[in-house]
Structures are given as C-alpha cells and as structure tokens.
Amino acid sequence: MACAMAKTCEDLIEELRGIEADVAVYEHPEVLTIEAWNAAFRGKDAPTGILAKNLLLKDKNNKLYLIVALASTKIDVKVLSVRLGLGKKQPRMASPQVLDRVLQVPKGCLSPLALCRPQARDVVCLIDAKLASADEKILFHPLRNDRSVGLSFSGLQAYLASIGHTNAHVVEFVAEYKAGKDNPPDLKPFVDIAGDFAAMALDDAPGAQQGKPAPKKKAGKAGGSCRGGQGARPSRGMTCTRWWRRLRFLGRSSSAPIRPRTSSSS
C-alpha cells in the first residue's frame, strides 16, 4: 500500500511506473470536460489510447460511487439507481466540497488514480466492462488536469490492488434494468459492504460548500421584549401590541359567565 500516501502528481507517476514500466505521460492545457480533453489531443502528436470519463455520485445514505467509463458509454443514473437498490432515491453528482475532502482533487481532475487517498477507501468504484476488454491504453488524469497518463486495464487493476482498494468492480452499463423478486438489484451487494461518509458530515448545501455555516432564518417582528408570561408566544408577523390585546380579550371571554341561548317563537 505504498501508493496510499502519494500526495503529488510526480509521486503517483513514480508509483505507476513501478507497476507498469511503459507508462507514458502527456502534457496538455487544463481541461474540465471530456470534450475539451478530446480536443486537446487532436493533431499529429495525439497519444494512442482511449479516454475514460469519471463521475462521482453521492446518495442519500452518504455513500459515494465513482463511475469510470468509456467516453462514449451512456450512464443512465435512473437505471443505475435501480441496480444499486436505491429505488427512486437516485444518487446525484457530488459537490466540489466532496471531491476536495475525500479524493483531494479539484473539479476536472477526477480519476480512479485518486482512490489512493486514505479517505477514499470506502468509495464504490464501478468500471465499465468496455474498458476492461480494451486492448489500448486508457488515459487518466494523475491528480491534475493538465497531465494524462496511459495505463492498461491490467495496470489499473494492479494499481488498485497496491493501494488496497477492494471495492472496485467491472460492470456493464445497460440502458434498462427491471428489478423484482426474481431479479434483485445486481449491484446492491457492492453497496452493502461499503462504508458511508456520514462521519465526515458531507453537506451539499451552498454555505457548506464554501466552508461557511448555513444562513440563519430571520426572526419575525415578535420577539422576547413583549411583556406578559401567560399563553403562547406571539406567532411570526404578530406584533407585541396585537398579541397583548388578544390575551386581554381571551381573558375577559374566559371569565364571563356562559349564558344559555333562548329561542324566541314567532
């Protein structure tokens, strides 16, 4: 598990070359999308290899899923949710805060190579079967998005084994999946053995993403300066004067005798 403490791109590349000697490193402008990444490699000096897109999803149970797929593979989150046993509670894209705290990479630098971070040991990694069957090198970002490395699938497997990441699985991403009594969610066992990130208090609220507390709700006009200690406190929007008048009215009404109503005959 030597790579578990890798902190920089250079450290990671050295570890990868210890696993696969012919790992090639390519420099290019910073890219944030798969389209920009593909455009950066056009020309005579384009490397031989296939691009892998990476998505980090987070569900309501604070579990994280790293999807590693061929660029052309369609990922249907609704179908994936059924296969994971989440039902209608579909996972959503993880926030930049989650990327920073768990995988310690900024947006645009995500790849399975970032699973070397100690905090990422419980991330469920689902790898496209099309990548597993590819003969070409697979291109990944080595913790930064102005570099790419070419790694074979067997090299990726050896890397994940070296860092002790055991919850990585090859799956086929399908367009349709119907779960039922005779066809249970096929990916749910991977979810059941994974730990959650509740202890890290991952919060996707806007304030939390910036490291700021969530904004407090403004109090109404009614406050603690009203006199009188009987009855309920004034509701939001009710002034102290109206509240006090209401208490006085209720007091008079409750102390007055109740007289029976008499009916008059015509």
pLDDT for 209:
41
Answer yes or no: do 73 and 118 share one domain: yes
CA–CA distance, 243 with 114 (Å, rounded to integer): 60
Q: Residue 66: which H helix or E strand, with range?
A: strand 64-70
The total domain count for the chain is: 2
Q: Residue 168: which H helix or E strand, with range?
A: strand 168-171
Please name every residue paired with 168 in a beta bridge, in sequence order, or none if there are none.
Answer: 125
Q: At what angle do helices 9-19 and 153-162 cross, to 10 degrees?
A: 110
- Whether residue 172 is contained in a domain is answered as yes
- Whether residue 141 is contained in a domain is answered as yes
- Whether residue 265 is contained in a domain is answered as no
pLDDT for 246:
63
Answer yes or no: do 138 and 232 share one domain: no
- Whether residue 263 is contained in a domain is answered as no
Answer yes or no: do 13 and 58 share one domain: yes
Q: Tell me if 188 sits within 8 A of 90, measured CB to CB.
A: no
Q: Are strands 124-128 and 168-171 parallel, antiparallel or unpaired?
A: parallel
Closest-CA residue to 84 (of 195, 230, 187, 226) = 187
- Whether residue 214 is contained in a domain is answered as no
Answer yes or no: do 162 and 112 share one domain: yes
pTM beyond 0.85, yes or no: no
Answer yes or no: do 134 and 169 share one domain: yes
Answer yes or no: do 243 and 156 share one domain: no
Answer yes or no: do 64 and 173 share one domain: yes
Q: What is the pLDDT along the chain (266 residues), one digit of tens a residue?
A: 344 445 789 999 999 999 999 998 988 889 888 888 888 877 656 777 899 999 999 998 899 999 999 999 999 999 999 999 998 889 999 999 999 999 999 888 999 999 998 889 899 999 999 999 999 999 999 999 999 999 999 999 999 999 999 999 999 999 889 888 889 999 999 989 888 887 665 555 444 444 444 455 455 444 444 444 444 555 555 555 665 566 565 555 444 554 555 554 44
Q: Tell me if 143 sits within 8 A of 12, measured CB to CB.
A: yes
Answer yes or no: do 122 and 9 share one domain: yes
Domain of residue 22 covers 2-209
CA–CA distance, 124 with 127 (Å, rounded to integer): 10
Answer yes or no: do 204 and 229 share one domain: no
- Whether residue 236 is contained in a domain is answered as yes
Answer yes or no: do 179 and 240 share one domain: no
pLDDT for 74:
95
- CATH code for the domain in which residue 181 is found: 3.90.960.10
